[in-house]
Amino acid sequence: MDEEYDVIVLGTGLKECILSGLLSVDGLKVLHMDRNDYYGGDSTSLNLNQLWKKFRGEDKPPAHLGSSKDYNVDMVPKFMMANGTLVRTLIHTNVTKYLSFKAVDGSFVFSKGKIHKVPATDMEALKSPLMGLFEKRRARNFFIYVQNYDEADPKTHQGLDLTTLTTKELIAKYGLVDDTVDFIGHALALHRDDRHLNEPALDTVKRMKLYSESLARFQGGSPYIYPLYGLGELPQGFARLSAVYGGTYMLSKPECKVEFDMEGKACGVTSEGETAKCKKVVCDPSYLTNKVRKIGKVARAIAIMSHPIPNTNESHSVQIILPQKQLGRNSDMYVFCCSYTHNVAPKGKFIAFVSAEAESDNIQSELKPGIDLLGPVDELFFDMYDRYEPVNEPYLDNCFISTSYDATTHFETTVTDVLNMYTMITGKTIDLSVDLSAASAAEEEY
């Protein structure tokens, strides 16, 4: 271990593994260490026995839940947008060859006490029960504008400058009512709160286009895809990638103490009495607790069920977004469900998550609106974890720290953090204009 590396990465969470892979592909000499004896850190995947141990202590899970090894329960479950940044990053690094994807069945939004399919195109807008007749026409006109919008072609802008016009002002031009604005902003553009309404509309329009382009990609019921066997495959895929390019992985390394030189710059990492030297350290917040601050908590419920979520067209995999305004909250709530069709549970079993930024200390009552949508559950676990963000100046101390995972059930915010970190570490931007067909989703039916 007494060698010198360009970068030492601490923690094998998803963000750290993606960065490790990207940096290895760039030709940097990378050492990747984790204090745990398993991959994934906070974003690991647990079998039933591990899940039971984490939430129920020493009890054994009941036999009727099936075999422990048939469960792959992701601790930070997130779907991938089919044309989104993570899929582009996977293709850019060729990690797709280690993974098999399957399209996600459904994308829904909670409005006025009911679950509705998210309409993403002008034709779907005309059929959606979310809106009345006149509102459907107005929404259709807005969707057509968004579908035709091309940033590089001023003719498609209809005289509107979306870099200065706010989302609220753009939507006002089409006369859409608040409930429509709600599902467009939260279920299509995937904003986490309502701040986007007062920000330039270009970001929201780009997000809507990404949603509809991803939806069109697999002709399925949603724009999302998900790996067979869950997200636990992702860190391992990037670990393999890093190894192919000469990166070194070490699990079960206790302590992992970051060493600093006289100027306060990271210069190595010590574990078990040995020090590996390095120029830069990349890590999750748990490895440098004095350089991060707490920014909130995520509350979540994990359910094991024997049926799909009611009112989702029998979807075996689904996301439901509950916009903040519908619940009288300050941020959205998310419901994620996956099942045996993605090989994350035994046949006939479904895993559902309800997650939200915690706004109180009573998780059970706070998550009740989401849990109420699930129907009867076999088992229910509650959990809360703190979220941290870095407060250091990386150019002063050479420490690059990721932000904790948020409550969203899709990957867009996670990958934005990774790509920003990559640019800070290398001074480069990744070219993600890739051939998207390299990540095809499995079409098989179960």
Residue 117's H or E segment, with its range, is: strand 114-117
The three-state secondary structure class of 258 is strand
Q: Packing angle between helix 233-244 and helix 14-25, nearest 10 degrees? A: 20
The pLDDT score that the predictor gives to residue 1 is 59
| Residue 88 clears pLDDT 80, i.e. is over it | yes
pLDDT by residue (tens digit) across 398-430?
999 999 998 887 788 888 899 999 999 999 998
The pLDDT score that the predictor gives to residue 127 is 87
- What's the burial of 177, exposed, middle or buried (CB within 10 Å: 0-12/13-18/19+)? middle
The three-state secondary structure class of 60 is coil
Which DSSP category does 175 fall into?
T
Strands (E) across 306-374 are located at 318-322, 333-339, 350-357
- Cα distances from 1 to residues 9, 10, 20, 94, 375, in angstroms, run 14, 14, 18, 28, 53
- Cα distances from 235 to residues 40, 241, 442, in angstroms, run 6, 10, 20
CATH number of 117-215: 1.10.405.10
The three-state secondary structure class of 172 is helix
R_g (Cα) of the chain, nearest Å: 22
pLDDT band for 2, please (50, 70, 90 cuts): low
Domain ranges of the chain: 117-215
pLDDT band for 281, please (50, 70, 90 cuts): very high
| Residue 34 clears pLDDT 90, i.e. is over it | yes
The pLDDT score that the predictor gives to residue 126 is 85
pLDDT by residue (tens digit) across 351-368?
999 999 999 999 999 999
The pLDDT score that the predictor gives to residue 121 is 80
| Residue 85 clears pLDDT 60, i.e. is over it | yes
